[in-house]
Amino acid sequence: MSQRQSHQHENIRQCRQPQHDGIHVEQSSAVSILGSCISTGDDCVSIGPGSSDLWIENLFCGPCHGISIGSLGWNLQEAGVQNVTVKTATFRGTQNGLRIKTWARPSNGFVKDVCFQHIVIDNAKYPIIIDQNYCPDHNKCPSQDSGVQISNVRYEDVHGTSATHVAVKFECSKTNPCRGITLDGVNLTLKDKPTTALCPRNGNNVVKPTTCLKEE
Which class for 163: exposed (0-12), middle (13-18), buried (19 or more C-beta within 10 A)?
Answer: middle
Active-site choice (20, 21, 24, 42): 42
Among the ranges given (178-182, 189-193, 208-212), the one the predictor scored with the smallest mean pLDDT:
208-212
Structure confidence at residue 157 (pLDDT): 95
Report whether pLDDT(11) > 90.
no
Is 42 an annotated catalytic residue?
A: yes
Q: Write down the pTM of the prediction.
A: 0.88
Structure confidence at residue 89 (pLDDT): 97
Active-site choice (21, 43, 65, 131): 65
Largest Cα–Cα distance of the chain, in whole Å? 45
Is 113 an annotated catalytic residue?
A: no
Counting the structural domains of the chain, the total is 1
Q: Under DSSP, is residue 211 helix (H, G, I), strand (E, B) or coil?
A: helix
Mean local confidence (pLDDT), 165-187: 91
The Cα 1–Cα 142 span in angstroms is: 29
Task: Report yes or no on 165 lying in a domain.
Answer: yes
Task: Report yes or no on 22 lying in a domain.
Answer: yes
Structure confidence at residue 214 (pLDDT): 46
Query: pLDDT > 90: what percent of the chain?
Result: 67
Task: Report yes or no on 202 lying in a domain.
Answer: yes
Find the domain containing 193 and state its range: 6-212
89-124 burial, b at 16+ Cβ within 10 Å, e below that, comes to bbbbebbbbbbbbbbbbbbebbbbbbebbbbbbbbb
Structure confidence at residue 138 (pLDDT): 85
Task: Report yes or no on 1 lying in a domain.
Answer: no
Structure confidence at residue 215 (pLDDT): 42
* CB-CB contact of 157 with 117 (8 Å): yes
Average model confidence (pLDDT) across the chain: 87
Task: Report yes or no on 73 lying in a domain.
Answer: yes
Task: Report yes or no on 112 lying in a domain.
Answer: yes
What CATH number does residue 126 fall under?
2.160.20.10
Task: Report yes or no on 60 lying in a domain.
Answer: yes
For the chain, what's the residue count?
216
